[in-house]
A and B are shown apart, each in its own frame.
Chain A
């Protein structure tokens, strides 16, 4: 007995089944709260406001309010930011620029997120002989 190809119209259905079998329902996204974060070594507290908010593909800025854990504003610190896409293992060619605004306020510009997805913004903070790091989770749209 020979199968008639003209009657194998279930083939497109098989292709769809192949696609459907490979997927699952997406869970609900988490909210990203960037206020009152503790640095990795526990020496600093920081509140962060991205612009645009939520972060988007393209050029982004970040307003930062930094303080020592005793509440004193952190002044005169040197900050270095690095956008990093952990799932893809790459950063960006553009180095963000940071300016100090005074009273513990800092602002970073030229945060270039080159594609949608999950990014980590690494912020290395140096003051005196001390250094600490914040890692912010961004979901760029």
Chain B
């Protein structure tokens, strides 16, 4: 009896200590989860529990093929297109957690080796993006419980952004291979929504969709003179699944889609100018120093399947490595 009586308090203490340990572990894990799923998959976007962010991401993309206007995939033969990009980005929540402002500037080094044309490598800034996001709904991050309707509420953020033609447009190219073309040459106004829903304590789904209006601009060359080119509207979507493994590690699988509507030239629709690009990828993130320094890595690719994408001159695979410095409250 005595030994049994002594055993009960010991068991209780062990149980209590284990519970505390689990709670201590769960709290930062959830904090990490919210920041990872609401921030680290998008360049420059501040995580939910952070006040600010500075980041740099280096990526490399190698073209392996192309999708023609009918969606047929062909391997790239006799030519090469390689892009290395260093993207500098940052964001801040200036007036509390609801609103964040963010921006990104890509610096690109591009190599083009095309049959019969001098190989060229050129560097320059790409098109910069600046935007704002407003936290309209907030997930409690406890997972979905069917007996608790409020657990269905996700993070919901309307997004507005502008893309600036800071890169070199095709009309301004001076290199025969156009290796120096780093931008679209047009302003774009983007609006959309980002939704993140925690399925459980540490797994979530994220859907981001933005509609973009690309403004018309002059385009043209020697023989025909100037034309008014109206690029079609664009729709970007991203579906991602996140799994936060522990305090430091998380991984994600994602698919992205980009659709552009038909363009117009001098007011006339350009036949077969719609494009579609579907990519899939996986990635991981590791806090080097929690909760400030984080390393991210991802690979993505255009699946070489005819009909999946359409009107994409260079499709291939990419690798990205990022370093994020977050600033907690």
The answer to whether A and B come from one shared complex is yes
Residue from the list A12, A57, A82, A92 in contact with B253, Cβ < 8 A: A12
Give CA–CA (A18, B78) in the complex, Å: 33
Segment from B49-57, B101-109, B275-283 that makes contact with A: B275-283
Are B254 and A2 within 8 A (Cβ)? no
A1-B146, A4-B200, A90-B170 are contacts. A22–B69 as well, Cβ < 8 Å?
Answer: no
Complex interface residues of chain B between 215 and 252 (CB less than 8 A to chain A): 219-224, 227, 229, 231, 239, 241, 243
Residue from the list A12, A28, A89, A112 in contact with B263, Cβ < 8 A: A89
Give CA–CA (A84, B306) in the complex, Å: 25
Closest to A26 in B: B71
> Interface digits, B18-58 against A, CB 8 Å rule (1 contact, 0 not)?
00000000000000000000000000000000000000000
Give CA–CA (A118, B72) in the complex, Å: 12
Cβ distance B245 to chain A, nearest Cβ, rounded Å: 11
> Interface digits, A14-26 against B, CB 8 Å rule (1 contact, 0 not)?
1110110011111
What is the size category of the interface that chain A forms with chain B?
Answer: 35 or more
> Interface digits, A107-123 against B, CB 8 Å rule (1 contact, 0 not)?
00000111111100010
Segment from B84-92, B153-161, B172-180 that makes contact with A: B172-180
> Interface digits, A98-140 against B, CB 8 Å rule (1 contact, 0 not)?
0000000000000011111110001010000000000000010
Closest to B176 in A: A94
Are B231 and A89 within 8 A (Cβ)? yes
Q: How many A-B residue pairs have CB under 8 A?
A: 180
Give CA–CA (A58, B115) in the complex, Å: 5
Are B205 and A115 within 8 A (Cβ)? no
Q: Which chain B positions have C-beta within 8 A of A116?
A: 66, 68, 74, 76, 313-314
Q: Which chain A positions have C-beta within 8 A of B9?
A: none
Residue from the list A8, A27, A86, A93 in contact with B173, Cβ < 8 A: A93
Are B74 and A141 within 8 A (Cβ)? yes
Are B221 and A15 within 8 A (Cβ)? no
Are B307 and A26 within 8 A (Cβ)? yes
Q: Using a Cβ–Cβ cut-off of 8 Å, how many residues does chain B contribute to the interface with A?
A: 73
Are B223 and A81 within 8 A (Cβ)? yes
Asked whether any CB of chain B lies closer than 8 Å to the CB of A56, the reply is yes
Complex interface residues of chain B between 56 and 78 (CB less than 8 A to chain A): 66, 68-72, 74, 76-78
Q: Which chain B positions have C-beta within 8 A of A92?
A: 173, 176, 178, 221
Are A8 and B176 within 8 A (Cβ)? no
Complex interface residues of chain B between 240 and 274 (CB less than 8 A to chain A): 241, 243, 253-255, 257, 259, 263, 265, 270-273
Are A19 and B308 within 8 A (Cβ)? yes
For this complex, 18 residue pairs linking A to B, each with C-beta atoms less than 8 Å apart, are: A3-B143, A3-B200, A15-B253, A16-B255, A18-B255, A19-B257, A23-B305, A23-B310, A25-B306, A57-B115, A58-B116, A58-B117, A84-B224, A86-B271, A87-B311, A115-B314, A117-B311, A141-B74
Q: Which 6 A-B pairs have the closest CB atoms?
A: A59-B116, A58-B115, A82-B223, A5-B203, A90-B170, A89-B229
14 more contacts with CB within 8 A, not counting A5-B203, A56-B78, are A3-B143, A22-B257, A23-B305, A23-B310, A24-B307, A26-B71, A80-B222, A81-B223, A86-B271, A89-B229, A112-B177, A114-B112, A114-B114, A122-B223
Which residues of A approach B to under 8 Å, CB–CB? 1-5, 8, 11-12, 14-16, 18-19, 22-29, 56-60, 80-82, 84, 86-95, 112-118, 122, 124, 139, 141
